[in-house]
Amino acid sequence: MQNRKLKIGIVVGEVSGDTLGAKLIRSFREQGIDAEFEGIGGPQMIAEGFKSDYPMDILSVMGIVEVLKDIKKLFAVRDGLVEKWTKNPVDIFIGIDAPDFNLRLSKTIKQKNLPIKTVQYVSPSVWAWRQGRVHGIKKSIDLVLCLFPFEKGFYQKFDVPAAFVGHPLASQLPLENPLNLAKEELDLDISQKHIALLPGSRRGEIERLGPLVLDAAQIVNQKHPEYTFLIPAINDARKQQIEALLEKYPTNFTDHVKLLENTHKESKIGRQVMNASNIIALASGTATLEAMLLHRPMVTFYKLNWLTYVIAKMLIKIPYYSLPNIIAGKRIIKELIQDDATPEKLADEIEKLMNEETAQIQVMQNITMHKKLLSGNSEDPVKVILDLL
């Protein structure tokens, strides 16, 4: 093992996973580990020398019903990776997030008795819903790398090897984060007030949630024309999709909307837009944690295909959907889910956050949660991965 280059397979399915993957690759290199990386990655990982066998977007499918439409394509990708690693095995496979795909891939690796250790980096939300999945994880995963301290405790109850490695953003993002500096970074007028609109980074999310968030923004604009709306586009395809949506609205509204395309290799535009905004309205997902760590007041929303929602509702074991509320164990941000996710209700919640006192209460709670994530005794992910070998 010491005399040859380590081969590490990694699979990610979205921007947040690409960010984690790129940081992990850099960490291996910084610790002097001679390794090559292959699998499925995004632009950030590729910039670090990663060899991606498929485009990352191929895994960007959300929801039970939505996945069924693409199931043949997803199976073909899984089988392609298994075939490649049967002929030329990697030493270790690290699935970063994308649990529906990565856990199945790990299961197949174990069923075929391939000489490959399996790691799941970012625990699936088994503590929240479909808790029975933990038994499948125990059979197919050699180690779970947890971003939050409460997750390790959950796995210990089931004798699943797990390490709390911390969330890289908690240490990466500063506790002091002046709004005006963030506005200047995007060449925005610091005297102007901005509202970030983030309907999601996937094609399907923008189709489903884009009209909701733009309708809400139009309502807000009619009462508060002093605000400018900022929408990030992580790539040219998403930019064109959002532009097509904006064409359906009158110019007296769209003149108040600024679409910012990603120009950074790390796909930072979403974070930059949230950081430069006085208020954030965003789709529930990993970006809610980012918004919390940026200490900006926010409201979150989400709508699924109705059948996906009905099924998910029966399986969910916790009262909250967004990470800030889950970590806090109480509601610190407003969640508008499914039938509650209407333009009128979203506009109303955005307007509430215009109240300085209301916004500041949430900001102080965000800072408290940030400190909580920094205080845990986290382990080095590279070290625990190498310990497996």
Convert the pLDDT of each residue in 33-68 to its tens digit.
Answer: 999 999 999 999 999 999 999 999 888 665 445 556
Q: For residue 228, which phi and psi values (nearest 5 degrees)?
A: -110, 140
pLDDT, average across residues 25-36: 95
Q: Of 359, 366, 354, which Cα lies nearest the Cα of 324?
A: 366
Q: Give the model's confidence band at 265: pLDDT under 50 very low, under 70 low, under 90 confident, else very high.
A: low
Measured CA to CA, the distance from residue 222 to residue 226 in angstroms comes to 10
Enumerate domains of the chain plus CATH numbers.
6-171+377-388 (3.40.50.2000), 179-374 (3.40.50.2000)
Q: Which residue has the higher pLDDT, 139 or 376?
A: 139
Class of residue 204 by CB neighbours under 10 A (exposed 0-12, middle 13-18, buried 19+): middle
Please, are residues 201 and 234 in contact by the beta-carbon 8 Å criterion? Answer: yes
Q: What is the distance of C-alpha 285 from the center of its chain?
A: 6
Q: What percent of the chain has pLDDT over 70?
A: 93
Asked which of 274-278, 294-298, 330-334 is least confident by mean pLDDT, the reply is: 330-334
Residue 373 has pLDDT above 90, yes or no: no
For residues 375 and 199, the model is more confident at 199
Contact between residue 348 and residue 279 where contact means Cβ atoms under 8 Å apart:
no
Return the pLDDT at 1: 46
pLDDT category, 389, cuts 50, 70, 90? confident
Question: Which of 7-11, 30-34, 300-304, 375-379 is least confident?
Answer: 375-379
Mean pLDDT of 122-143: 89
Query: Which residue, among 173, 178, 196, has the nearest Cα to 370 in the 3D structure?
Result: 173
Which strands form 227-233's sheet, in the order they lie side by side? Answer: 257-261, 227-233, 193-198, 279-283, 298-302, 334-337
Residue 315 is predicted with a pLDDT of 67
